[in-house]
Amino acid sequence: MNIKHLLTEKTLAAFQQLGLTDNVNAAVTQSTRPEFGDYQINGAMAAAKLLKTNPRQLAQQLLELLDIADMAESVEIAGPGFINVKLDKNWLASQLTTAATDSRLGVAVNPTPQTVVVDYSAPNLAKEMHVGHLRSTIIGDAVVRTLEFWGDTVIRQNHMGDWGTQFGMLIAHLEDKIAAGVDLETVALADLEDFYREAKKRFDDESGFADKSRDYVVKLQSGDAHCQKLWQMFIDTSIKHSNDVYQKLNVTLTNADIKPESAYNAMLQPIVAELVAKDIAVESQGALVVFLQELADKEGTPSPFIIQKTGGGFLYSTTDLAACQYRSHELAADRIIIFTDARQALHFNQVELVARKAGYLAERTAYDHCPFGTMMGEDGKPFKTRTGGTVKLAELLEEAVVRANAVLQDKVTDLSATEMAEIARKVGIGAVKYADLSKNRTSDYIFSWDAMLSFEGATAPYLQYAYTRVRSILRKAEVAADFHAEIVIGAEQEKLLAVKLLRFEETLQQVMKEAQPNLLCNYLYELASLYMTFYEACPILKEGVEPATRDSRLMLSIFSAKLLHKGLDLLGIEVMERM
């Protein structure tokens, strides 16, 4: 059920009857104010401009041809040519009654399933995951879940950093730890951040260590068995740390989704050779470079894109080109979505240009780099990762659960300690995720413990609480799993809730198109808020409520609970029966 889509089709049909088929835009939107109805059709004004006619007159003609008598209670022309549509309560009720019992919650079956490759999370395995990895990980996961629910074939790609120059120093350090007989699991690699710091310190201070490190990188990348073995030990441990975080975060990534940088190793040399052979790349100051005229500055100086360093080493640019080829051709992607920090915007812009020139990206493959802002400290200045300012993701999540537990302790409940711990976990993690997912900002954002761990207002706990309130009623009413009744819409609070309930698919479409889960966050908050209002205003199980009214309201409650559950699930946020 997609009311906006339905109204758009009806409007376009009416336009067609008026002889307008090209360049017409129905411009259907949700009404901005209650007195303008539920939806407004704004297309008449732009069309009138094209035809050089009076917009109100055109709107009138359109209105007469508009076949929406069954769904609209009233249709009115207002202002310069707006068409305001107020939906009919009976129509809404009947649509809802159908949707409420649908296994897809009223969301249509995807008519054109696509293969979508989603590149997200991508931590650097040299270090532990920190708060900077949160956005990519959970936004990507929410988009993935939404695409899968819609019916696309999603291929997750965790482009982990496992091949950089730091690994020489890390494995050299590891080698010494092993020689000293230190237990790797519980001591040496228990804290990757400490391990990295130790190795870096030796690299800077200890004579001979830096040379050994550089030597080990070369050996590693040329396939030396000893170095490979050490490297593998380190990588395995680091991946385990990531998996712990994913599990805590309720993120769907698994080892099967890992396609690290090293996996593209064999493709790099042939790609460089091909780019040179095609005259796309040229030698410049000892390196191989692609000069992009498309990104030239005002003087016409092209933008350089280095694909091979002086001395033959490859860079992440080369790896990303290989990833394009693999994803577009081998995985047959219709669309590639990459979630990274905005600082890489130029890089991905260049990657796409080069990949298109060389055919690594097929024409049919859309390439969407979805950037987000750099993280700042609470003072508004860039978050320093080197000066001890790093907040480990695992620590943030632990803190969230501790704080949620503290809030829970203040409540008088009859919940067991086990239930309380489970609720604190879901509330704490949910709060962290919602705080981040609900923001659209492509600009920089400020990391704040308090904002991240807030449990009041538009937060995950609010949505979880709304869910438990509904569930509580349904438990009390002892409704059967297959409970069914006809929905009747009377009170204004019911009408507003009904319209919102029928906007789920509309919301999901937008989330997928823009790769912006914050739209789903907004929707769910509004849904929960409208349910709360309905809950306060419309008694269900109280004395004096007519059976038919009670059953209708129970149906509204059941469907609200299902949508809240599903919506939060798509965000990767868990719900509970009680809190």
Partner RNA sequence: GCGCCCGUAGCUCAGCUGGAUAGAGCAACGGCCUUCUAAGCCGUGGGUCAUAGGUUCGAGUCCUAUCGGGCGCGCCA
- State which of positions 106-125 bind RNA (CB under 7 A): 124
Strands, E, within 319-394: which ranges? 335-341, 366-372, 375-376
Choice between 102 and 294, CB closer to RNA? 294
DSSP code per residue over 212-278 = HHHHHHHHHHTT-HHHHHHHHHHHHHHHHHHHHHHHHHT----GGGB--GGGGHHHHHHHHHHHHHT
Choice between 230 and 323, CB closer to RNA? 323
Q: CB-based contacts of 230: which residues, under 8 Å, 6+ apart?
A: 171, 174, 175, 178
Candidates 98, 232, 254, 443; binder of RNA (CB under 7 A) is 443
Backbone angles phi, psi at 435, to 5 degrees: -55, -40
Q: CB-based contacts of 12: which residues, under 8 Å, 6+ apart?
A: 24, 26
- State which of positions 149-188 bind RNA (CB under 7 A): 161, 163-165
Query: What whole-number distance in Å separates Cα of residue 257 and Cα of residue 122?
Result: 11
Q: CB-based contacts of 40: which residues, under 8 Å, 6+ apart?
A: 28, 29, 30, 31, 32, 82, 83, 84, 85
Candidates 119, 261, 551, 574; binder of RNA (CB under 7 A) is 261
349: part of which helix (H) or strand (E)?
Answer: helix 345-358
Choice between 82 and 195, CB closer to RNA? 82
Q: 488: number of CA atoms within 13 Å, CB side?
A: 9
Q: Are 96 and 89 in contact (CB under 8 A)?
A: no
Candidates 69, 345, 402, 491; binder of RNA (CB under 7 A) is 345
Least CB distance to RNA at residue 320 (A): 9
211 near RNA, judged by CB under 7 A? no
Binding mask 291-330 for RNA (x = CB under 7 A): ------xx----xx-x--xxx-xxxx--x-----------
Largest CA distance in the chain: 87
Least CB distance to RNA at residue 477 (A): 8
25 near RNA, judged by CB under 7 A? yes
Q: Are 237 and 167 in contact (CB under 8 A)?
A: no
344 near RNA, judged by CB under 7 A? yes
In this chain, which stretch among 173-181, 270-278, 342-350, 561-569 interacts with RNA, using CB under 7 A?
342-350
Least CB distance to RNA at residue 532 (A): 4
Least CB distance to RNA at residue 334 (A): 21
Backbone angles phi, psi at 489, to 5 degrees: -105, 120
In this chain, which stretch among 29-37, 149-157, 187-195, 481-489 interacts with RNA, using CB under 7 A?
29-37
Choice between 65 and 342, CB closer to RNA? 342
Judged by CB under 7 A, the number of residues near RNA is 108
252 near RNA, judged by CB under 7 A? no
Least CB distance to RNA at residue 231 (A): 15
Candidates 57, 284, 398, 491; binder of RNA (CB under 7 A) is 284
Q: Are 573 and 250 in contact (CB under 8 A)?
A: yes
Candidates 115, 522, 549, 565; binder of RNA (CB under 7 A) is 522
265 near RNA, judged by CB under 7 A? no
280 near RNA, judged by CB under 7 A? no
- State which of positions 39-78 bind RNA (CB under 7 A): 40, 42, 45-46, 49, 55, 78
Query: What whole-number distance in Å separates Cα of residue 115 and Cα of residue 295?
Result: 30
32 near RNA, judged by CB under 7 A? yes
- State which of positions 534-553 bind RNA (CB under 7 A): 535-536, 538-542
Least CB distance to RNA at residue 183 (A): 30
Candidates 226, 364, 411, 484; binder of RNA (CB under 7 A) is 411
In this chain, which stretch among 9-17, 89-97, 251-259, 527-535 interacts with RNA, using CB under 7 A?
527-535
Candidates 56, 347, 357, 565; binder of RNA (CB under 7 A) is 347
Select from 155, 204, 202 the least CA-distant residue to 175: 202
Write out the two tokens for 419: 């239930």
132 near RNA, judged by CB under 7 A? no
Q: Are 552 and 485 in contact (CB under 8 A)?
A: yes
Backbone angles phi, psi at 297, to 5 degrees: -85, -175
Choice between 90 and 454, CB closer to RNA? 454
Q: What angle do CA 374, 380, 381 make, to 5 degrees?
A: 70
441 near RNA, judged by CB under 7 A? yes
423 near RNA, judged by CB under 7 A? yes
Q: Where are the alpha helices (DSSP H) in 453-543?
A: 460-477, 492-501, 504-514, 518-537
- State which of positions 353-392 bind RNA (CB under 7 A): 373-374, 376, 380-382
Least CB distance to RNA at residue 90 (A): 23
CA gyration radius for the chain? 28
